[in-house]
Structure 1
Amino acid sequence: MDSKGERATRRRGAELEAAILDAAWEQLSQRGYSGFTFEAVADRAETSRPVLYRRWPTRADLLKAAVEHHGAGQDTTAPDTGNLRDDLLTALRRSNAQRSDFLVLMSASLGGYYEETGLSPRDVREFLLGRHRLAIEDILERAVERGEADPERLTPLVRAVPYNLYRHEVMMSLHAVPDETLEAIVDDVFLPLVTPRDR
């Protein structure tokens, strides 16, 4: 047996599952949902289709697992620089580095998945983020404590503004967002919305 076959047969349990899900994410990112087949993922993971079918009966199940697996490896902690502006910019820059490719994928490549499952980009985003507390919540909580943000102005819609604008920019350009645009989102749009009026 060649070294590839030996490596494939040695993997078991969590190691094999992680290898499959890494391969699935790579296949999804590079080929979109149209190229996201059991055969392609099995070939990339150096395993067999029956191994995949035993764990994930459908392509949609495999996609959900791959997105959740990818999200579990991302840093979701809230930056704590000491001020709201820098916390937000640090968080947005991190999202730009970690997630812009995922947002492009959601926008440009998953139409068939949404049609097949009846799900939406919001649902797929929740697969990625899981049940983690969002960094923006901790950032804004500390900003209120420091007197940098007015809690009465932090409605659910306002809280969502930085990331909604960021996602819009990615989905419209299909690229990571330039840093000057991230700064404009924070300085020109969000901070004027939440800064106490007496400051």
Structure 2
Amino acid sequence: MPTRRRGEELEATILEAAWAEILENGYNRLTVEGVAARAKTGKQVLYRRWPNRSELAVAAIRHALGPLVGVAPDTGSLREDYLAVMRQMTARAQHYTPELLHGLLAEMPAWGGEFFSTTPGFVTEILRNAAARGEISHAGLPERVANLPLVLLRYEGLRGVGQWSTLGEVDLEKFFAEILDEVFLPLVMALAGPSPRPRPGP
């Protein structure tokens, strides 16, 4: 007789089944019943954890792909740190089909939209590192400014769903540079310019 699965083991099995259903059948055909059947469990087990299929899908994506940024990059440069994050975002976005994104956007009221929010922890750490190096005078930038490169990148991805899989590396790097060099960094320097150098002694 098979051992009854519980807790994290059962949850992992369900989320892996949900991700497999999304990959094989698409988000539009994703059903709690189908995931339950694949995971060999009852659908009420799923409903106790995820009230609707959109929350289940978001949990499955996070389980399959992991966090956007596990550890904040520390390259020694504010620009390069943000660039590293943007590259990770683009690589991750290649796993999202237009159908999946459109389906989640259509059902956003059901799950609150936190899937598209940035992760303030690693952004804050990047800014603190830059302040400690003297690149900026302080790390207390407004949240909208701190998250601006990631929000613009996400917007462009949603506006042209699927484009990340067709753009070459050179075009992507050019696009990243435009966001950082023409929009973000000038704004950061205007709000929290580089720390003043120590005045020379008498």
Cα distance in 1, alignment partners of residues 150 and 187 from structure 2:
14
Aligned-partner residue type, residue 170 of structure 1: G
* 1:174, distance to aligned residue in structure 2 (A): 0.8
The C-alpha deviation readout for 1:59-117, integer Å capped at 9, x for no partner, is 355345435534655543110111111111111111211245459567412245235x2
Q: Relative to 1, partners in 2 of residues 1:187 and 1:52: Cα closer, same or farther, differing over 3 Å?
A: same
Cα distance in 2, alignment partners of residues 136 and 105 from structure 1:
29
Is 1:97 matched up with 2:88? no
What's 1:191 paired with?
Answer: 185
CA contact (8 A) 2:18 2:57 kept: yes
Partner SS, residue 110 of structure 1: helix
Cα distance in 2, alignment partners of residues 61 and 183 from structure 1:
34
Cα distance in 2, alignment partners of residues 96 and 34 from structure 1:
23
Q: Relative to 1, partners in 2 of residues 1:101 and 1:159: Cα closer, same or farther, differing over 3 Å?
A: same
Aligned-partner residue type, residue 169 of structure 1: E
Is 1:182 matched up with 2:182? no
What's 1:151 paired with?
Answer: 138
Map of 1:11-26 to 2, 5 A cutoff? Answer: 12-13=5-6, 14-26=8-20
Is 1:34 matched up with 2:28? yes
The structure in which a higher percent of residues are helix is: 1
Partner SS, residue 177 of structure 2: helix
Q: With structure 1 as the length reference, what TM-score do the two structures score?
A: 0.71
What's 1:170 paired with?
Answer: 157
Percent sequence identity over aligned pairs: 35
Aligned-partner residue type, residue 156 of structure 1: E
Partner SS, residue 81 of structure 1: coil
Map of 1:60-75 to 2, 5 A cutoff? Answer: 60=54, 62-63=56-57, 65-67=59-61, 69-70=63-64, 72=66, 75=69
Cα distance in 2, alignment partners of residues 133 and 71 from structure 1:
19
Flag structure 2 segments of 5+ consecutive residues without an equivalent. Answer: 198-202
Higher mean C-alpha displacement, 101-110 vs 171-180: 101-110
Is 1:142 matched up with 2:129? yes
Q: With structure 2 as the length reference, what TM-score do the two structures score?
A: 0.71
Partner SS, residue 107 of structure 2: helix
Q: Relative to 1, partners in 2 of residues 1:155 and 1:70: Cα closer, same or farther, differing over 3 Å?
A: same
What's 1:3 paired with?
Answer: none
Partner SS, residue 151 of structure 1: coil
Flag structure 1 segments of 5+ consecutive residues without an equivalent. Answer: 1-5
Give RMSD over aligned pairs.
Answer: 3.5
* 1:12, distance to aligned residue in structure 2 (A): 1.7
Structure of higher RCO (CA pairs closer than 8 Å, 6+ residues apart):
1
Q: Relative to 1, partners in 2 of residues 1:172 and 1:58: Cα closer, same or farther, differing over 3 Å?
A: closer
Query: Which of 124, 128, 132 is residue 115 of structure 2 equivalent to?
Result: 124
Q: Relative to 1, partners in 2 of residues 1:170 and 1:30: Cα closer, same or farther, differing over 3 Å?
A: farther
Query: Which of 74, 78, 82 is residue 76 of structure 2 equivalent to?
Result: 82
What's 1:110 paired with?
Answer: 104
CA contact (8 A) 1:32 1:109 kept: no
Cα distance in 1, alignment partners of residues 123 and 153 from structure 2:
13
